[in-house]
Amino acid sequence: MERPSNNTADTAQSLLEEQRVWCAKIRDIAASRSKNPLAYVDTYGCQQNESDSEKLRGMLIEMGYGMTYDEYSADVVIVNTCAIREHAENRVLGNVGELVHTKKAKKSQVIVFCGCLAAVSKTVDKVRSSYEHVSLVFPPNKLWKFPELLYRALVDKKRIFETDDENAFVAEGLPTHRDHKVKAWLPIMYGCDNFCSYCIVPYVRGRERSRRAEAVISEASSLVAAQYKDITLLGQNVNSYTDPASNCASGGLSLRFPALLKKLSDISGDFLLRFMTSHPKDAGAELFEAMAQSGKIAKHIHLPFQAGSDRILKLMNRGYTAREYLDKINLARSLMPDIVITSDVIVGFPGETNEEVNETIALVEAAEFDAMFTFIYSARPGTPAAKLQDTVSKEEKHERFDRVVTLQNEISEKKHAQYIGKTLRVLVDSKAPGEAYPFKARSNGGRLVHLQAPPEQDGGNREMVGEFVFAKITQSNNWSLYGELYG
């Protein structure tokens, strides 16, 4: 593990070192058994949760566990949960409820409930009273403490409910087990200070904390050395990134996100850097220029706009107007004509009128996003928006959702059709089931490209995963492109 530079970091360091001792204790228990214990990690929600699960797997492997996808044979089942919308919450809780059967079949099984829902006190109370088969609950900011908590659950045989920590720190050096060999998640910051009025993230993930640039660069270099070709920098608002080491240097200039991107681009090797998510209020010329200047930064930005009405944007506490948003994407396109811009939008925010939905529709028409995720507003208890009267009926919300999605599908279809006949450099990232297009690849802008196998004389079904190749696009739809190997 690395040595951080201040007192708080030293405390964090010693807490993390203690966890190694707990890992070793569990490893001893595992070694005393006739066969390796198995763990199943089930992940819901966003890329940050996926990345957290890679750390849980890393810790489990260090504790002597093997991985399985079968809940019944698992000695430990971990459900890494998502709290972003009610629908996600209900799905998770339904599936956790079902685990009562696996626990019945295997009495010694330890069922773990972690992730964002484990930081919502009402949900934790429900787990405590109604899901007695769950033995261990801990919030995302206590991920680093998993070995100690698991040891106590295994040895004390008591139910453990770990609570959140106001002063969460950045846990460097946790082991990570990545399943994918080509694409990697690389968190650069945790938490969020934006408090968009509808969003639960700042409450469950805590205040913004950036990793030290040195640690990020070192991890990225190791990933490139290990042949990862597509690295996505993660943060709820990557534009808020500030290197804490540069921050405390007396009078020194803070190292912010565009500067971090430049430093990462200097790592030698053939790889692509992606990042998500950017907040429109903080994304600007400096970021777009850094993107335009580097051949290693993918020409793609995911820039959620959330609403087209200035009144709703204000109620959402987003910090920009529709005009300012459009000006930003116009600036990005003026610097990078081929940039892919994707976005998120919410329909049915409390009090949203029909005229205001039309303003969202007008923004979608003007912005011509390559792709967009549309969400129906979901009240999250404890957020300011949940106190607003929800005036939009369920039917209206669905009708608005359909209108927005239909429009975006038409735009995506049109944009994707413009690729037909063009040749793109793509990264083959996985094999796909099916004869016609046995490979999946991504363009520089992140478009999914279904790829035909090379002809027999060029190696037929050769292993192309992990290679950058040229693809001639022959077909498209609103979601993806189809192509053949070129040259």
- Give kind and range of the element (H or E) at residue 171: none
Which three-class secondary structure state does DSSP give residue 292? Answer: helix
Work out whether 195 is an interface residue with ligand SF4 (CB under 6 A).
yes
Cα separation values, 201 from 17, 169, 266, 354, 420, Å: 28, 17, 33, 28, 40
**DSSP assignment letter at 266:** T
Q: What are phi and psi of 443, to 5 degrees?
A: -75, 170
Provide, rounded to whole angstroms, the least separation between the CB of residue 313 and ligand SAH. Answer: 12
Among 41, 59, 83, 84, binds ligand SAH (CB under 6 A): 84
Work out whether 81 is an interface residue with ligand SAH (CB under 6 A).
no
Residue entry with tokens 């999605």: 405
Confirm if 289 and 258 have CB atoms less than 8 A apart: yes
Work out whether 325 is an interface residue with ligand SAH (CB under 6 A).
no
Work out whether 277 is an interface residue with ligand SAH (CB under 6 A).
yes
Q: Which does 377 bind (CB under 5 to 8 A by kind): ligand SAH, ligand SF4, none?
A: ligand SAH
C-alpha–C-alpha distance, residues 100 and 405, integer Å: 38
Instruction: Identify residues 326-345 at the interface with ligand SAH (CB under 6 A).
Output: 344
Confirm if 74 and 56 have CB atoms less than 8 A apart: no
Which residue type occupies 460?
Answer: G
Q: Which does 202 bind (CB under 5 to 8 A by kind): ligand SAH, ligand SF4, none?
A: ligand SF4
C-alpha–C-alpha distance, residues 393 and 74, integer Å: 43
| Beta-bridge partner residues of 374 | 345
Number of neighbours of residue 405 by Cβ within 10 angstroms: 17
Work out whether 120 is an interface residue with ligand SF4 (CB under 6 A).
no
Query: Which range in 24-32, 109-117, 190-198, 467-475 contacts ligand SF4 by CB under 6 A?
Result: 190-198
Q: Which is nearer to ligand SF4, 81 or 237 (CB)?
A: 237
The DSSP code sequence of 361-415 is HHHHHHH--SEEEEEE----TTSGGGGS---S-HHHHHHHHHHHHHHHHHHHHHH
Work out whether 88 is an interface residue with ligand SAH (CB under 6 A).
no
Number of neighbours of residue 10 by Cβ within 10 angstroms: 12
Among 176, 194, 408, 412, binds ligand SF4 (CB under 6 A): 194
Work out whether 236 is an interface residue with ligand SF4 (CB under 6 A).
yes
Q: Is 476 exposed, middle or buried (0-12, 13-18, 19+ CB in 10 A)?
A: buried
Provide, rounded to whole angstroms, the least separation between the CB of residue 30 and ligand SF4. Answer: 37
| Beta-bridge partner residues of 233 | 186, 275
Provide, rounded to whole angstroms, the least separation between the CB of residue 347 and ligand SAH. Answer: 9
Q: Which is nearer to ligand SF4, 109 or 343 (CB)?
A: 343
Q: Which is nearer to ligand SF4, 199 or 469 (CB)?
A: 199
x/- string (CB under 6 A) for ligand SAH, residues 368-397? -------x-xx-x-----------------
Provide, rounded to whole angstroms, the least separation between the CB of residue 281 and ligand SAH. Answer: 10
Among 43, 135, 232, 237, binds ligand SF4 (CB under 6 A): 237
Provide, rounded to whole angstroms, the least separation between the CB of residue 61 and ligand SAH. Answer: 29
Query: Which range in 59-67, 96-104, 191-199, 362-370 contacts ligand SF4 by CB under 6 A?
Result: 191-199
Bridge pairing between strands 134-138 and 110-115: parallel
Work out whether 306 is an interface residue with ligand SAH (CB under 6 A).
yes
Gyration radius of the chain over CA positions: 23
Number of neighbours of residue 326 by Cβ within 10 angstroms: 17
The residues, ordered by sequence, that sit 6+ positions from 131 with a Cβ below 8 Å of its Cβ are 96, 97, 100, 113
Provide, rounded to whole angstroms, the least separation between the CB of residue 194 and ligand SF4. Answer: 4
x/- string (CB under 6 A) for ligand SF4, residues 199-228? x-xx--------------------------
- Residues near ligand SAH (CB under 6 A), total: 17
Among 199, 264, 312, 473, binds ligand SAH (CB under 6 A): 199
Phi-psi region at 100: left, alpha or beta (left = phi > 0; alpha = psi -120 to 50)? alpha
Number of neighbours of residue 444 by Cβ within 10 angstroms: 20
Query: Which range in 91-99, 193-201, 468-476, 477-485 contacts ligand SF4 by CB under 6 A?
Result: 193-201
Work out whether 112 is an interface residue with ligand SAH (CB under 6 A).
no
Provide, rounded to whole angstroms, the least separation between the CB of residue 207 and ligand SAH. Answer: 14
Provide, rounded to whole angstroms, the least separation between the CB of residue 235 and ligand SAH. Answer: 8
| Beta-bridge partner residues of 24 | none
C-alpha–C-alpha distance, residues 73 and 88, integer Å: 26
Chain residues that interact with ligand SF4, rule: CB under 6 A: 192, 194-196, 199, 201-202, 236-237, 279
Chain residues that interact with ligand SAH, rule: CB under 6 A: 84-85, 198-199, 201, 236-237, 277, 279, 304, 306, 344, 346, 375, 377-378, 380
